[in-house]
Amino acid sequence: MPPEDTGSAAVEFRGSADIAGGLKRASACVSAMGVYKFRVNGREVSSAVLAPGWTSYKNRVLYQRYDITDMLSEGKNTLSVSVGKGWARSPLSLMREGNLYADHPSAIFYLKLEYEGGKTKEVFSDGKWEVWTTPVINSEIYDGETVDLTVAPRLIGEALPDKGIDVRLAPQYSGLVTEHERVAARRLITAPNGEKIIDFGQNLAGYVEIRITGKAGERVSISHAEVLDKDGNFYTGNLREAKQRDTYTLSGGRDVLKPSYTYHGFRYVRIDEFPGEPAPSAFTAIALYSDMKRTGYFTSANQDVDRLFRNVVWGERSNFVDIPTDCPQRDERLGWTGDAQVFCRTASMIYDTSRFFDKWLADLAAEQRADGSVPRFCPMVPGMDEEGNSAGWGDAAVICPWELYRAYGDPDVIRRNFPLMRGWIEYMHSAGDEEYLWIGGNHFGDWLATDAGEGAYVGATQTDFIASAYYAYSLSLFVKMGQVIGEDMTGYEKLYTSVRRAFRETFMSSGMPVVYKKGDGANKARRTKAVTQTSLAILLAFDLADPGERGAIAKKLVAQIKENGGKMSTGFIGTPLLLPVLSSEGYVTEAYNLLLQTKAPSWLYPVRHGATTMWEHWDSLRTDGTFWSDDMNSFNHYAYGAVAAWLFETALGIRQTEDSAGYSQPVIAPRPDRRLGSASGSLDTPHGKIGVSWQYTDESVRYEISIPDGMCARVEIPGKPPVNVTGGEYIYTT
Ligand code: BGC
């Protein structure tokens, strides 16, 4: 730690290593409380940004290992770790004071030098390391960064051993956050109010790089926002307290400006200060997200659907910044469990998220409470924890491991998360007065559904219904997973039978959803509509309806959608289930009708209104150009992007049998629709890449299917008898 209070400024811890001849390997381990940049002889070692990332710091802080052999030369080498406030010290969520995990920056460093002949030497950060000022005089996750390039670094003194911080270090094993796409400025706008705005044409999470040569002391300042208001002016209302502003004082030479310890959610930047006339070519937006391998691709001749898919991909990129955040722009950016749970399946098709989620689940497990409940978001912000969690949110503890197991087929994800899952199941088991139901509690319900009326946050579906349904659903997955790893699940199997029975007795009558009467009024937040699109979809998706009841429920759902003008009325919980249950019950055309709806609420309404990412609300931007609200209106919220799983599984038809995992038993069952014209895509599975495309001609549909070597797949083309095929290329025409 520094020898004096350095306030909000980033500081540099500087040491050195004497290198003798014959160095074979040099491996450095670095971490910090804050976020850091690691340099050897003044050169940045890695493209990592925002390391060491955000974990449950009170339980573990990750360290990163770098091979720096090629960066060292014989003689004295300078090592430096510069540390900004990051998540450890920036204000987070509603905790506006900051310094939540530590009140000063600190870093830890270890270097192992291996020489030819077997000799080794170690270098540690210690009291001989110096502490220097840096050009970054302020930096916060939500507010942005202030950099003064005119001030020469000043030696503050020698580093002191850290006081009062007791952290457990753990090795990094997920992908680091690094720079990805570079997006050129598309145009410079002069807004009606006279402000100068750069439009990058794509909403994303990251920052802006500016190349400029100015006079020493001249300033550049930019603010970031996602949308313009109805008059075309820069709009920051939905950022709430987050300032998202970067300010630089120029050095006088040629400067390449970009922040080091912060990131923003934006499509537009407003130029608040700039010497002379800004040229768009000086500005480049850089997307930041965790390194993950891209695995899923989809394109369609229908431009709206094509854009929708790209918006889902950008939603994932923008919110997979070390943890699965709800949004990247406002003063929130938290690992909300419900959002992660509904999107996990889709996310794991588009990118290989196995390590990304593994890291986050380890933090969720670390933060699990003694009663088995998990926090609403993870990592939990110190000072904001509350007891319990909502149904559909805490279930991330079970559903995410399940989706990872299904996607990648590795039973170790079940083994690692078994105690986490059991804890959450036991929490639901003991919640409320009824052993086999989850009645009462504070729930987010069918969050942001439109069926509870204008401006409501919690949808109309009774929260007791949703909570008890999730209790049954998560329990059913837990039983399946336990069996995969050879656990004795007989007790939980029996519990499941009782839970499912109790659910059906309480929340169903004559095969339809009913409202639970007992206790009504005790909890005002409890909703009262029995038959909603969400309640019907849940009965089908969570296997709560008996086989003989499914047809009538699906028919009712189709009727409900029709009554609602061919539109959905669902929120976070119901929406991801709609298309899968419609198509699995034979209503493929009706599923496409819903997919292709362009009036709100619908997936394509935002697309038709210029969205380049997924919106938090169906009508975040209304037809008259006004906004849903200021306080809760993100234009980059991935939850509704869960629809893309259906594009893979049903439109392209790349799926797997119910009881298999990792595509060991793939089924290719495309369900085309003429309104799309054509669709094509691929999924990189653990057994190789499956490719599917279909195209309508005047008279027929032509399918091309590609199966990797060594894979055996069942192909179900509409109108043809199913066939089993092995690796190869197949063409069908119907
Ligand atoms: C977040 C949501 C989250 C919700 C829970 C919001 O502030 O942005 O995505 O799931 O809170 O109520």
DSSP assignments along 527-544, one per residue: --BSS-HHHHHHHHHTT-
- The pLDDT assigned to 517 comes to 75
638 in contact with ligand 1, CB cutoff 6 A: no
Supply 168's token pair.
């457990």
Answer with the residue of higher pLDDT: 516 or 401.
401
Q: What integer best gives the mean pLDDT of the chain?
A: 95
Does the structure show a pLDDT above 70 at 530? yes
Q: What angle do CA 167, 170, 174 make, to 5 degrees?
A: 135
> What single letter denotes the amino acid at residue 584?
S
Q: What is the rounded distance in angstroms from the CA atom of residue 516 to the CA atom of residue 352? A: 41
- The pLDDT assigned to 167 comes to 84
- Mean pLDDT across 424-429: 98
SS3 146: strand
Centre of ligand 1 to C-alpha 12, Å, is 36
* Percent share of the chain, pLDDT over 90: 93
Closest residue by CA, ligand 1 atom 11 = 336
Closest residue by CA, ligand 1 atom 4 = 336
Q: What is the rounded distance in angstroms from the CA atom of residue 662 to the CA atom of residue 669? A: 17
Q: How many CA atoms lie within 13 A of 362 on its CB side?
A: 21
Question: Which of the listed residues 318, 327, 339 should we mutate to test ligand 1's pocket, taking the one with most ligand atoms within 8 A of CB?
Answer: 339
Whether residue 26 contacts residue 69, with contact meaning beta carbons closer than 8 Å, is answered with: yes
Q: What is the pLDDT of residues 25-35, one digit of tens each?
A: 999 999 999 99
How many residues can be counted in the chain? 734
Q: What is the rounded distance in angstroms from the CA atom of residue 489 to the CA atom of residue 480? A: 9
Answer with the residue of higher pLDDT: 250 or 162.
250
Centre of ligand 1 to C-alpha 527, Å, is 18
Q: What is the pLDDT of residues 370-389, one digit of tens each?
A: 999 999 999 999 999 999 89
Centre of ligand 1 to C-alpha 398, Å, is 19
Q: What is the rounded distance in angstroms from the CA atom of residue 548 to the CA atom of residue 618? A: 34
Centre of ligand 1 to C-alpha 333, Å, is 10
Does the structure show a pLDDT above 70 at 264? yes
Q: What is the pLDDT of residues 465-474, one digit of tens each?
A: 999 999 999 9
DSSP assignment letter at 400: H
- The pLDDT assigned to 522 comes to 43
336 in contact with ligand 1, CB cutoff 6 A: yes
447 in contact with ligand 1, CB cutoff 6 A: yes
148 in contact with ligand 1, CB cutoff 6 A: no
- Mean pLDDT across 578-592: 98
Beta-bridged to residue 51, according to DSSP, are 36
Q: What is the rounded distance in angstroms from the CA atom of residue 457 to the CA atom of residue 409? A: 37
Q: Is 332 a catalytic residue?
A: yes
Confidence category of residue 169, pLDDT binned at 50, 70, 90: very high
332 in contact with ligand 1, CB cutoff 6 A: yes
- Mean pLDDT across 118-143: 94
Centre of ligand 1 to C-alpha 86, Å, is 22
- The pLDDT assigned to 438 comes to 96
- The pLDDT assigned to 313 comes to 98
- The 3-class SS string of 478-515 reads HHHHHHHCCCCCHHHHHHHHHHHHHHHHHHEECCEECC
Supply 421's token pair.
């899952």
- What DSSP assignment string belongs to 88-130? HHS-BTTBTT--SS-SS-EEEEEEEEEETTS-EEEEE--TTSE
Q: Is 367 a catalytic residue?
A: no
Centre of ligand 1 to C-alpha 495, Å, is 31
Closest residue by CA, ligand 1 atom 8 = 326
446 in contact with ligand 1, CB cutoff 6 A: no
Does the structure show a pLDDT above 70 at 640? yes
Confidence category of residue 164, pLDDT binned at 50, 70, 90: low
- Mean pLDDT across 206-221: 98
- Mean pLDDT across 83-87: 98
- The pLDDT assigned to 521 comes to 45
343 in contact with ligand 1, CB cutoff 6 A: no
Q: The tokens 């399918």 sit on which residue?
A: 703
444 in contact with ligand 1, CB cutoff 6 A: yes
- The pLDDT assigned to 128 comes to 87
- Mean pLDDT across 192-210: 98
Whether residue 580 contacts residue 541, with contact meaning beta carbons closer than 8 Å, is answered with: yes
Catalytic residue among 140, 145, 316, 332, which? 332
- The pLDDT assigned to 525 comes to 45
Closest residue by CA, ligand 1 atom 1 = 326
- Mean pLDDT across 82-97: 94
Q: What is the rounded distance in angstroms from the CA atom of residue 201 to the CA atom of residue 268? A: 8
Closest residue by CA, ligand 1 atom 3 = 336
Confidence category of residue 523, pLDDT binned at 50, 70, 90: very low
409 in contact with ligand 1, CB cutoff 6 A: no
Closest by CA to 181, choosing from 354, 310, 88, is: 310
- Mean pLDDT across 45-52: 95
Region of residue 567 (left: phi > 0; alpha: psi -120 to 50; beta: else)? beta
Atom of ligand 1 nearest to the CA of 616: 9
Whether residue 662 contacts residue 654, with contact meaning beta carbons closer than 8 Å, is answered with: no
Confidence category of residue 161, pLDDT binned at 50, 70, 90: confident
Centre of ligand 1 to C-alpha 244, Å, is 20
Centre of ligand 1 to C-alpha 129, Å, is 43
- Mean pLDDT across 149-177: 90
Q: What is the rounded distance in angstroms from the CA atom of residue 604 to the CA atom of residue 607? A: 5
Closest residue by CA, ligand 1 atom 5 = 444
- The pLDDT assigned to 518 comes to 66
Q: The tokens 């893309």 sit on which residue?
A: 644
Atom of ligand 1 nearest to the CA of 376: 5
